[in-house]
Structure 1
Amino acid sequence: MYKKLALMGLLATVSLSYAEDDKTKALEEQIKILQQQMEILKGQLEELKKQQVTAKESSEVEALKEEIRKIKLESVMPELEGKSYYGMGPAASKAMFNQKGISIGGYGEIHFTYNPDTRPRNTVDAKRLILYFGYAFNEKLKFNSEIEWEHAFVEGKEESGETAVEFAYIDYNYNEKFGLRGGLVLIPVGIVNEYHEPPTFPTVDRPFLERKLIPTTWREIGFGAYGKINNFEYRAYITNGLKTNEETGEKLEEGEVLQGFKQKGFKAASDQIAFTGRLDYNFPYSLKVGVSGFIGGIQDEEGKKLGTLNLLSSHVWWQHEGWDVRVVGVYSTVSGSDKVSQKISTNPACTELGDTTECTAFPKKFYGYYTQVAYDVFRLLKISDQQLYIFGMYEDYDTHASVSEGFVKPSGHKVQIYNFGLSYKPHPLIALKADYVRFAPKDEKKQNIYRLAIGWMF
């Protein structure tokens, strides 16, 4: 009996032992499978991490490449900073702020004019297209130039357009107080002669005074110095003088006193030299007050001196918190105006011994002024990314305030002009303009002029 029970217990123990062994083996197999799966998952996780790192690195590399591309592009084509370099317009100043390499800028304007007193009444004109080319040899030594195309094309006929170099000079800026400049330079008289890019003034065209009395754009070959000392800013040049040409008398009869005397860098006669300069004082709140002038001899095509021009201009310019207020005055005297008159006369009957009343009279004295008030009304509406200037301008000048004895003043020498309009800037570098111009007393060819324009700079 006891032997049977012992045998049965032994068999049960052996059976349990075999069962435990099978369970252990199964568990070991499961653990092994789980370990294999974990290894696979671990490998997949490492691969995923690598892919994520690679993607991040790739994204960072692409971003770095884009930054390098932008830096290279800006070094070749610097952006317009919108600042003035010693009185020059923002686009013209681009090359001067460039630290190295090439800079390209420009401006242009297209005009529409309705004049009921002329035929045709309506005209549309691609007035001018300008390209600036500059090069910075280093931070101090630079070249700057302006090339102009007027009226869309040049054909070699009287009524066609014009291609001209407005300025081209080498500039060395030793420091803020002193710099040197030489080449074809802008005469620093008035405001618009240097600062003449269309979006920088509200009127459709440049002020009449700064075209009739100051022959904008006025440039001559010369050299000189410029700089800024505390609040004073100066420019001073020695240039060639003025000279008569075959168009001088015709331009004078059109009311443009000095336009026909400019030499523009074209084989400029320099037997007579000139001195020109400018001094500005910069007050707080962007108020600038200054004087400028030009003193130079006038000679004929053969080099004979005819007289001397003494021109003085004063200006007040305030640009602050949406305001653009300008006042420019001109006063000029001419010695030897009688000799100049006889030389430039378009009437063959005018000779040294003839009746001077038949001569085209060059003024012994001329003067005038204009005042402009403009305000950006969008500031009242808290619109900061666009501007809408409403402006008014009054001009009063006399092209022949005085003439030499025996000469007769031309009709229409006293001029008053009222100009009102709008200048909308969807972008600081683009201006859409509209204005109305009224002459008083009435001119033979114009009294009321309506004008539209689009202008840009870059």
Structure 2
Amino acid sequence: MSTHYNFVAVAMLIIGLLAHGQPIESQAQDDSTRISDLERQIEAITRDLEALTLGTEVVNPAQRGAFGMAPAAGKVYTINQGVSIGGYGEVLYQTYAGAKENGDPSGKAAKLDAYRGIIYVGYKFNDRILFNSEIEIEHGSTGLAGSASLEFAYLDYKLTDNFGLRAGLLLVPVGITNEVHEPPVWLGTTRPLTENKIIPTTWRESGFGIFGETEAFSYRAYLVNSLDGVGGGSSGASGFSSSGLRGGRQKGSKAVAENFSAVGRIDCTGTPGLMIGTSFYTGDQGHNRELNGRKVSIGTNIWEAHFKYQARGFDFQALTALASVTNADDLNELKGLSGSGSVGEKLSGWYAQVGYDLLWSSASEQQLLPYFRYELVNTQAEVPSGYSS
């Protein structure tokens, strides 16, 4: 195969010189780029043929992203150069029972919500450098409960085909859903609670780091500004609470940045249709807040492991997450929390789900994929002495 490519490259060089008189170095660079593109295409075709042969094709080929991004969000990686535009919309209808479990009226009316409208804008300068961003409008407006925000905006610089540097407003690479949260890619109308209360999806913070992928593995490691565990700072974050860590997100908006945290992730992706991985987040979330004249450290660790397998119409997915918060008693005092309102010293959650595409055997391009999910979440698995859960 290599000899054939070299022959093609030499032939194209000769033709180019005779017809256009282009410099040899310039033409050689063009041919090298074309050969690299062909090799990548052949590798992709080979993987697809292997998947079909083994019967492990993914439920939906459109779910394939790039370098940690979801399919539409990663569109900029698939173009040769220039502007890339993508997006999605999400509309949610909710209806409620007329009565609570104790028989009292629920008082809740049905809702129809233009939940999210997303625009992806990217620009690929060349094979090494690109910019990618997401603009999100929630709940149809910026009034009432709505908002318009920058979900992510970053620059990639690829040092090699499989390794690069990344900096900007980043999606934190923890869990299954946070980076890949486009509705057609995950099952359900709402995201798993574990990836809401313990892993605060959608979670983005400003920082920098490395990323890369091979045929067998993908990985990302960043240093980002810490969550605001206390709240009340310039970002408007409310801080950690008895219901989890979600209130600590600063979203890149005037983020308090006295502390930074490390986050890392690795996934095994060598088998078609299978992903097994783990990730962690660790750092101080206190940002030098003081209590009784001393600085309070709020060390927070999040660890999770995940599994996803898609084959022959089946979609299996499972995740377990654990989190710990040190000096939660000091945090409670800083926030004025008491009784059962304590922030958890330990948090835990897990879920497992399975779905099946009823149209898979018909070779249809459409999907009808009912699913079942079972989940347990405890945001107060342990609380400080003197508090209740």
TM-score > 0.5, shorter chain as reference = yes
Alignment correspondent of 1:296: 283
Show the 5 A alignment for 1:305-316. 305-316=296-307
> 2 CA distance for matches of 1:289 and 1:83?
15
Q: Which deviations, in whole Å up to 9, do the C-alpha atoms of 1:358-381 show, x marking residues without a partner?
A: x7311100011000101101123x
> 2 CA distance for matches of 1:174 and 1:249?
39
- Out of 298, 305, 312, the residue aligned to residue 321 of structure 1 is 312
* Structure 2: runs of 5 or more not aligned: 1-60, 101-105
**Is 1:236 aligned to 2:236, yes or no?**
no
Larger strand fraction of residues: 1
> 1 CA distance for matches of 2:212 and 2:194?
27
Show the 5 A alignment for 1:439-458. none
- Out of 85, 95, 100, the residue aligned to residue 66 of structure 2 is 85
Alignment correspondent of 1:148: 136
**Is 1:109 aligned to 2:97, yes or no?**
no
Q: Any conservation in 1 of the 2:216–2:271 contact (CA below 8 Å)?
A: no
Counterpart AA for 1:245: G
**Is 1:123 aligned to 2:103, yes or no?**
no
Alignment correspondent of 1:403: 383
Alignment correspondent of 1:221: 206
> 1 CA distance for matches of 2:107 and 2:130?
47
> 2 CA distance for matches of 1:270 and 1:339?
20
- The structure-2 alpha-carbon separation of the partners of 1:248 and 1:272, relative to structure 1 and needing over 3 Å to count, comes to same
Deviation, structure 1 residue 298: 1.1
- The structure-2 alpha-carbon separation of the partners of 1:252 and 1:108, relative to structure 1 and needing over 3 Å to count, comes to farther
Q: Which deviations, in whole Å up to 9, do the C-alpha atoms of 1:50-106 show, x marking residues without a partner?
A: xxxxxxxxxxxxxxxxxxxxxxxxxxxxxx975311231100000122221111111
Deviation, structure 1 residue 341: 1.6
Q: Any conservation in 1 of the 2:70–2:179 contact (CA below 8 Å)?
A: yes
- The structure-2 alpha-carbon separation of the partners of 1:175 and 1:336, relative to structure 1 and needing over 3 Å to count, comes to same
Deviation, structure 1 residue 301: 8.2
Q: Which deviations, in whole Å up to 9, do the C-alpha atoms of 1:225-263 show, x marking residues without a partner?
A: 01124512110000111213247668735x3x1111111
> 2 CA distance for matches of 1:250 and 1:364?
14
- The structure-2 alpha-carbon separation of the partners of 1:81 and 1:375, relative to structure 1 and needing over 3 Å to count, comes to closer
- Out of 109, 134, 156, the residue aligned to residue 171 of structure 1 is 156
- Out of 257, 260, 273, the residue aligned to residue 273 of structure 1 is 260
- The structure-2 alpha-carbon separation of the partners of 1:251 and 1:242, relative to structure 1 and needing over 3 Å to count, comes to closer
* Structure 1: runs of 5 or more not aligned: 1-79, 351-355, 410-458
Alignment correspondent of 1:138: 126
**Is 1:98 aligned to 2:76, yes or no?**
no
Moved more, 295-304 or 212-221: 295-304
Partner SS state of residue 369, structure 1? strand
Q: Any conservation in 2 of the 1:373–1:393 contact (CA below 8 Å)?
A: yes
Deviation, structure 1 residue 149: 0.7
Query: Percent identical across equivalent pairs?
Result: 37
Residues paired across the two proteins, number = 314
Alignment correspondent of 2:45: none
Deviation, structure 1 residue 320: 2.1
Q: TM-score, normalised by structure 1?
A: 0.65
Q: Any conservation in 1 of the 2:240–2:248 contact (CA below 8 Å)?
A: no
> 1 CA distance for matches of 2:264 and 2:121?
25
- The structure-2 alpha-carbon separation of the partners of 1:153 and 1:301, relative to structure 1 and needing over 3 Å to count, comes to farther
Q: Any conservation in 2 of the 1:83–1:93 contact (CA below 8 Å)?
A: no
Deviation, structure 1 residue 151: 0.6
Partner SS state of residue 299, structure 1? coil
**Is 1:207 aligned to 2:207, yes or no?**
no
Partner SS state of residue 331, structure 1? strand
Alignment correspondent of 2:359: 378
Q: TM-score, normalised by structure 2?
A: 0.76
> 2 CA distance for matches of 1:249 and 1:132?
28
Deviation, structure 1 residue 270: 1.8
- Out of 331, 347, 350, the residue aligned to residue 366 of structure 1 is 347
Alignment correspondent of 1:20: none
Q: Rg: which structure is higher?
A: 1
- The structure-2 alpha-carbon separation of the partners of 1:90 and 1:397, relative to structure 1 and needing over 3 Å to count, comes to same
> 2 CA distance for matches of 1:320 and 1:326?
12
Q: Any conservation in 2 of the 1:312–1:332 contact (CA below 8 Å)?
A: yes
- The structure-2 alpha-carbon separation of the partners of 1:301 and 1:130, relative to structure 1 and needing over 3 Å to count, comes to farther
Deviation, structure 1 residue 174: 2.3
Counterpart AA for 2:306: H
Deviation, structure 1 residue 144: 0.3
Q: Any conservation in 2 of the 1:297–1:308 contact (CA below 8 Å)?
A: yes
Partner SS state of residue 199, structure 1? coil
Q: Which deviations, in whole Å up to 9, do the C-alpha atoms of 1:344-402 show, x marking residues without a partner?
A: 33xxxx5xxxxx43x7311100011000101101123x142211102100011111000
**Is 1:252 aligned to 2:241, yes or no?**
yes
Deviation, structure 1 residue 302: 5.0
Q: Any conservation in 2 of the 1:241–1:270 contact (CA below 8 Å)?
A: yes
Alignment correspondent of 2:323: 332
